[in-house]
Copies of this chain bind each other. A is one copy, B any other.
Amino acid sequence: MNIETLFNGRKIIPVVTIERMEDCERIFGGLSDGGLLAAEVCFRTECAEEAIRYARKTYPKMLVGAGTVIDGGQCRRALGAGAQFIVSPGLSEDVALLSAQADVPYLPGTVTPTGIMRALALGIDRIKFFPACNFGGLAGIKSLSAAFPQVRFMPTGGVDQENLTDYLAYPKIFACGGTWMTRGSREEISQKSREALALAASIKK
């Protein structure tokens, strides 16, 4: 399945880092309270697997994926924990293969035409554009789209409340990833999530 199909209209994917399991309720709960029913859980912390299991069990309406998956070993563990999608900062052919075998959507990152061509050769046409802010931002995506009209992007890295609507208004961008709504108290997270959803809803494509 295409990751955009899985996202089912979700335009904002919170990138969540869980350092300690006691943060799960505050963060996943805050996102859920605010209506942001998606989380890309960074697979770099000790408790990332447990956090994915927790979120899947506690917030069954939330779409829970693993982010920062950099090799096949991490991908296997993320799939085992129940990750519903896999995201990498770059493109790993091992991760692409394992995700495809598990029928779980894989969103690789790439910022270069060569990377996009490798993704397309693997049958992947949804791309994470990371770190967006250092590779031209929206202008960078527009340039790449001129050569690759069949590709749709999810920029991550430097996306925030200020530029979210600019990114989402561009038709080749199917979603944005960001961390700005994942910090603070549960109430603050909930509030920022609501504001982010309102911004996304304000766009008339």
Cβ-defined contact, A117 with B149, below 8 A = no
Q: A111-B112, A139-B134 are in contact. Are A89 and B71 (CB under 8 A)?
A: no
Cβ-defined contact, A147 with B89, below 8 A = yes
- Complex CA distance for A139 and B147, rounded to whole angstroms: 22
Chain A interface residue number, banded: 35 or more
Inter-chain pairs besides A44-B149, A70-B148, 20 sampled, C-beta below 8 Å:
A71-B120, A88-B113, A89-B113, A90-B116, A90-B118, A92-B121, A108-B114, A110-B112, A113-B130, A130-B143, A130-B147, A131-B143, A131-B146, A133-B143, A134-B136, A134-B140, A134-B143, A135-B136, A143-B158, A146-B157
Summarize A's interface: helix, strand, loop or mixed. Answer: loop
- Shortest Cβ distance from A68 into chain B, in angstroms? 6
Task: Report how many copies the assembly holds.
Answer: 3
Interface residues of A in 61-119 (CB under 8 A from B): 68, 70-71, 88-92, 108-118
